[in-house]
Chains A and B, each alone.
Chain A
Amino acid sequence: MRYRVRHRTTYSYDEDVNDSLGIGHLVPRTLPWQQVTSYDVTVSPAPGDLSHDIDYYGNVATYFQVTEPHRKLEIEATSEVEVETAVYDDAALAVPWDRALPLRDPELPDAWRFTDFALPSALAEQTDEARLYAATSLVRGRPVGEAVSDLMHRINADFRYDKTATTVTSTVEDIFAKGAGVCQDFAHLTLACLRSHGLAARYVSGYLATQPPPGRERLVGADASHAWVGIWLPTTGEWLAIDPTNNQWADDRYVTVAWGRDYGDVPPVKGVIFTEAKKSTLRVSVDVAPV
């Protein structure tokens, strides 16, 4: 599938902001199953400084600074991408999950590198609760593809999607307590479950193209900034991408932007502002239009 993605983030303040610095993870990655034919990130008011760089995980990170006083800051990222559904090696999926643990088997190819994704991270703490919950799915010797899919089904069935349940600072413990969350929470929960058993798993940030209800126009802006999880398959070096929020493996509707240990490594936009303003309003609009 070919998409034109437009992602607009708008901050409005009740007083002047003199200085805004920001980091964005907004440009999709080029991958074996994903081609990026063009991209652009614009900031308004015009930034004094804007640059793109490749970060530690290979994502495009955009840095910008606006030094002109403003009450509205708008960051708009547009890109054209072509996505295919990733196809995984059957044998790689059939490897028992407990033979895919980089800390236990440092001799696995690239295990050293992906140890980073098997260790706890700030937003995906490896709680006892997560470990016990995952143990039901991660039965010794079970093929990794099957085991993590089972975990995905259970999380999807046991947890509610609820935008009011959590905040950006919610922990894995909060998610268990509420039994609900948004896509980011579903991803962090899945990461905690998998990593507490030693699997290498990464947080993937991107977009999901939505289909309009039958007989209705596709609504601009109704698409989503989304998050899911990739699991390392050591024999081929592939990463099985699963979406616990929607109970499915990621396919050609998923546009991959960036990955890291958790949301904290790859928020679409984060920033620091210098202002006396007390209130700000954030508006995010995403449009993934098939072309």
Chain B
Amino acid sequence: MTVLRDYAATISQPTLTNDDAEPARYDEVVNPDGSLRPAWKAMAELAVGLTPADLSRVDGDIERFLSDDGVTYARPGEGSGAWRLDPMPLVIDAASWTPLEIGLAQRAELLNEILLDLYGQQRLLSEGVLPPAVVFGHAGFTRVVARPSAIEPRPLVLCATDLGRDASGEWRVLGDRAQAPSGIGYAMENRRVISRVLPELYREAGLHRMEPYFWALRSALIQSAPGDLADPRVVVLSPGTHSETAYDQAFVASTLGFPLVQGSDLVVRDGWVWMKVPGNLRSDLRSRRLERVDVILRRVDSAWSDPLELRGDSQLGVAGLVEAVRRGRVRVVNGLGSGVLENPGLLPFMPAMCEALLGEPLRLASAPTWWCGDAGSLDHVLDHLDSLTIRPIDGEPLSIARVGRVELRERLLAEPHRYVGQERLALSQAPTWHPARFGEGRATPKPVTLRTFTLRYGSAYRPLVGGLANVYENVEGGGLSTSSKDVWVLKAGAGDADQGLTDVLPMTSARSVSVMVPRILEDMFWFGRYAERAEDLLRLVLAAHALSEDFRTRPRSTGGASLEVMMGAVHVLAGRRREDLDEEFRSLLLDPHRAGSVAQALTGLRDALLGVRDQLSLDTWRAFGATDRAAEALEASSHSHQIAESAGRMLTGILSLQGVTASMIRDPGWHMIGAGRALERAIQLSHLLRATTTVRRGIDVDREVLNAVLLASESAVTHRRRYRGYVRPGGVLELLLMDDENPRSLAFALTEAREHLAALPASTGSTRPERLLEDLIAELEGADIAALVAIGGVGRPNLETFLDTFRAQLVRLAEAVADLHFASGPAPRPLHAMSLVELTEGAGEPA
């Protein structure tokens, strides 16, 4: 049996149970008689031939590809998790796509006209087409941009519409996304993955490729710049790496070649928006280098976009942005205030608004929706509380199970205009792959919805020929999507232009113009530091683990004593958690909450990389694919040798980042990575030497320790060559402190840091970090190995003092780098949020 045959057999089988709860659904692949839908006919042979083994392999490949590309999505209330993609695409043939496409283009046109009217003449309200409470009662209606002076039309550039099929197979609108629609990046990533894992099927299908749509989007954004600029600056404004759809934002930014920025990277001056770029950063704004921004593709909701005129507690926006927008000096896409369209209260009035504004009937019907502000509709909703989805016009659905029937009724009656009731469609179903723990996996029918995207290109709206399908476990409960599907829209003829776009020019550069705002330099610096820290920790754990394999049962041996010394070095960094050595190693590798652990360094590394995701090669994320799989393998196995195996594979993953940085353009960001890496290496090395070489424990133990130190500092081979295997403190310290040919030495790290710091835009040769670094280099050059290793009592007091002061100065140097290069000034604060001594004189006293 093959997967699709099996699936078709299940679907066409008459159900024996008389279960009314399960509605009849339209099936996306199989006709009621068990034959394939027309869309699947062309590739029937290949598709039907797929066996459970094939799909199981493909499913595994998908998971690996997504992990290697670092594709994440944060479900509301949860941390960032893996993006999920089902192997079987949602396929739509040209004949069924065409009416949908025409309907979506009309809808975007209509939404745009509604938007212009609500922020302009408000004829829809004054003429009674749309009840005013649907607009005035909606949190997205943004009065600060609805001013008579702001008459310039600012159309919607990109909007999204969610659709579902009803039982008859007709597409119905579930809702619109108009302020900062997400998902087009995920859609493109889905396509990229599916085309790699199902190449034959993909080639056979004859579907519309998506790339030209991105070229058109890029061109539309550039053309939306105010005025007639030759080379407008476009940025993508993100709420930050913790946003639900951070991946999507970075993907769009890097695919379009626009920098991904955050609110703190931008400032308003003289009514224009500027991007902070490094230069001579002093605390006052005048001396700061700024570059003007003309277009902002925003992924921050309107309410959070400007702490001056919108939410005062927002740290995500740009103070003064609203004023710059009102003056027409920057174009925000989509405009501030377009969120009023994300409003299910509009749905019942769409047909009338379409007639009023476009003079034609509405093509795409919505899922039947009742606005409770209308008395008759309220009665209908109250009578059907169980069968309808109750939604506030500007919020998440209210579930009767959570809120309770009585409370729900009360809310509806108290503020009826704030709510709608929406019929739950018996959404169409599509085969969705379920891997089996034992035996063969299979495809089961799951409800799906379709997110479409529509772009204003030139003077017309063009839907993306494709989309993003969401798969649900149980849509009735208003559940969240559990997986996604690629959407294949087939061409009518093989010669059709992809996306129907014949006039769009391919993009010349796909990589983002690197923009080094201070925040990005900071993330780059920490990229270098955490990568080095993770590497050094892994080497230390590997060296200690190697000793433990041989000597853990012989604590009194020289090996046992040196094991204790190496574990001491670990414990200074990460504390001591577990008595059992293996458990301790596991915790060091796996526990992200343990300060000083490898897992924590990897988390820090990942956070830093996410902040600059648009600037990095996709190869970057392979490193985490490797470390994640090594961690999983360690969790799955209780064998001690798996510790070294996994630590080794983690090290390989981290080392692959060196390859990523090797191919990066030599810009300030690259130098910042280098500076971070060199400083961290110097700090880790001085720490390691301080913990291992300043106390004497007898010649044999010391030699064993020195061997482990050479191993942990990746200098064992060099040492063997230089000193012919004769291990003594003077030689080891010479190699690790002074040897400027040993890339793992302190001297080498400092020289490297010097080169990188000198190349940064804010460096002058005499900045504080540069001066501190010169002092350190001079101090190291002036040091004398013989004096350092000199014995005093049980230890080497000179070495101890030297390493302690050196490390303290290195930490100070790292702080000075941060002060000079990353300081982007204090965060904005509303005036009233300070501890305020108010001296009002006579305000509002009764007369």
Q: How far is the CA of A113 from the CA of B126 in the complex (A)?
A: 7
- In the complex, the answer to whether A272 meets B319 with C-beta atoms within 8 Å is yes
Contact with A along B460-472 (1 / 0, CB 8 A): 0000000000000
Task: Choose among B146, B319, B839, B844 the residue that contacts A182 (Cβ–Cβ < 8 A).
Answer: B844
Residues of chain A contacted by B125 (CB below 8 angstroms): 112-113
Closest-CB distance, B353 to chain A (whole angstroms): 15
- Decide: A284 near B149, CB < 8 A? Known: A18-B283, A63-B323, A65-B268: no
- Decide: A106 near B131, CB < 8 A? Known: A21-B308, A119-B136, A225-B844: yes
- In the complex, the answer to whether A274 meets B825 with C-beta atoms within 8 Å is yes
- In the complex, the answer to whether B825 meets A182 with C-beta atoms within 8 Å is no
Answer yes or no: B847 CB below 8 A from chain A CBs. yes
Answer yes or no: A289 CB below 8 A from chain B CBs. no
- In the complex, the answer to whether A221 meets B842 with C-beta atoms within 8 Å is yes
Pick out which of these stretches binds chain B: A30-38, A48-56, A231-239: A48-56
Residues of chain B contacted by A65 (CB below 8 angstroms): 268-270, 320
- In the complex, the answer to whether A67 meets B131 with C-beta atoms within 8 Å is no
Q: How far is the CA of A200 from the CA of B273 in the complex (A)?
A: 38
Answer yes or no: A286 CB below 8 A from chain B CBs. yes
Answer yes or no: A276 CB below 8 A from chain B CBs. yes
Residues of chain B contacted by A16 (CB below 8 angstroms): 283
- Decide: A18 near B846, CB < 8 A? Known: A119-B136, A273-B829: no
Write 7 A-B pairs (CB below 8 A) sorted by A numbering.
A18-B283, A69-B284, A245-B844, A253-B847, A270-B312, A279-B834, A281-B837
Task: Choose among A11, A225, A278 the residue that contacts B835 (Cβ–Cβ < 8 A).
Answer: A278
Answer yes or no: A226 CB below 8 A from chain B CBs. yes
Residues of chain A contacted by B832 (CB below 8 angstroms): 168, 270
Residues of chain B contacted by A139 (CB below 8 angstroms): none
Residues of chain B contacted by A44 (CB below 8 angstroms): none
Tally chain B residues at the interface, Cβ within 8 Å: 57
- Decide: A119 near B844, CB < 8 A? Known: A272-B307, A281-B836, A283-B839: no
- In the complex, the answer to whether B149 meets A54 with C-beta atoms within 8 Å is yes
Answer yes or no: B199 CB below 8 A from chain A CBs. no
- In the complex, the answer to whether B841 meets A222 with C-beta atoms within 8 Å is yes
Contact with A along B805-847 (1 / 0, CB 8 A): 0000000000000000000011111111011111111111111
- In the complex, the answer to whether A211 meets B847 with C-beta atoms within 8 Å is yes
Answer yes or no: B285 CB below 8 A from chain A CBs. yes
Answer yes or no: B143 CB below 8 A from chain A CBs. yes
Contact with A along B141-167 (1 / 0, CB 8 A): 001101111000000000000000000
- In the complex, the answer to whether A183 meets B844 with C-beta atoms within 8 Å is yes
Residues of chain B contacted by A280 (CB below 8 angstroms): 831, 834-837
- In the complex, the answer to whether A282 meets B837 with C-beta atoms within 8 Å is yes
Residues of chain B contacted by A101 (CB below 8 angstroms): none
Answer yes or no: B456 CB below 8 A from chain A CBs. no
- In the complex, the answer to whether A19 meets B267 with C-beta atoms within 8 Å is yes
Closest-CB distance, A196 to chain B (whole angstroms): 9
- Secondary structure at chain A's binding surface: helix, strand, loop or mixed? strand
- In the complex, the answer to whether B831 meets A222 with C-beta atoms within 8 Å is no
- In the complex, the answer to whether A272 meets B830 with C-beta atoms within 8 Å is yes
Answer yes or no: A116 CB below 8 A from chain B CBs. yes
Residues of chain B contacted by A69 (CB below 8 angstroms): 283-284
Contact with B along A263-291 (1 / 0, CB 8 A): 00100011111111111111111100000
- In the complex, the answer to whether A112 meets B126 with C-beta atoms within 8 Å is yes
Q: Most A CB atoms within 10 A — which of B286, B309, B842?
A: B842
Answer yes or no: B128 CB below 8 A from chain A CBs. yes
Given A19-B825, A49-B271, A183-B844, 6 other A-B contacts at CB below 8 A?
A: A53-B149, A57-B143, A112-B128, A161-B846, A282-B840, A283-B841
Q: How far is the CA of A126 from the CA of B416 in the complex (A)?
A: 13
Q: How far is the CA of A222 from the CA of B843 in the complex (A)?
A: 8
Answer yes or no: A23 CB below 8 A from chain B CBs. yes
Task: Choose among B829, B838, B844 the residue that contacts A224 (Cβ–Cβ < 8 A).
Answer: B844
Answer yes or no: A170 CB below 8 A from chain B CBs. no
A270 closest partner in B (C-beta): B831
Task: Choose among A11, A54, A116, A253 the residue that contacts B148 (Cβ–Cβ < 8 A).
Answer: A54
Answer yes or no: A85 CB below 8 A from chain B CBs. no
Q: How far is the CA of A201 from the CA of B666 in the complex (A)?
A: 63
Q: Most B CB atoms within 10 A — which of A53, A69, A274?
A: A274
Task: Choose among A11, A18, A223, A271 the residue that contacts B842 (Cβ–Cβ < 8 A).
Answer: A223
Task: Choose among A23, A103, A224, A225 the residue that contacts B308 (Cβ–Cβ < 8 A).
Answer: A23
Answer yes or no: B133 CB below 8 A from chain A CBs. yes
Answer yes or no: A227 CB below 8 A from chain B CBs. yes
Q: How far is the CA of A67 from the CA of B128 in the complex (A)?
A: 47
Closest-CB distance, A45 to chain B (whole angstroms): 12
Answer yes or no: B326 CB below 8 A from chain A CBs. yes
A219 closest partner in B (C-beta): B842
A122 closest partner in B (C-beta): B139
- In the complex, the answer to whether B136 meets A284 with C-beta atoms within 8 Å is no
Q: How far is the CA of A37 from the CA of B437 in the complex (A)?
A: 83
B317 closest partner in A (C-beta): A272
Answer yes or no: B137 CB below 8 A from chain A CBs. yes
Answer yes or no: B415 CB below 8 A from chain A CBs. yes
Answer yes or no: B592 CB below 8 A from chain A CBs. no
- Decide: A275 near B826, CB < 8 A? Known: A270-B832, A281-B837: yes
- In the complex, the answer to whether A224 meets B845 with C-beta atoms within 8 Å is yes
Task: Choose among B131, B839, B845 the residue that contacts A281 (Cβ–Cβ < 8 A).
Answer: B839
Closest-CB distance, A133 to chain B (whole angstroms): 16
A210 closest partner in B (C-beta): B847
B125 closest partner in A (C-beta): A112
Residues of chain A contacted by B323 (CB below 8 angstroms): 63
- In the complex, the answer to whether A284 meets B132 with C-beta atoms within 8 Å is no
Answer yes or no: A137 CB below 8 A from chain B CBs. no
Closest-CB distance, A13 to chain B (whole angstroms): 8
B283 closest partner in A (C-beta): A18
Answer yes or no: B417 CB below 8 A from chain A CBs. yes
Residues of chain B contacted by A126 (CB below 8 angstroms): 415
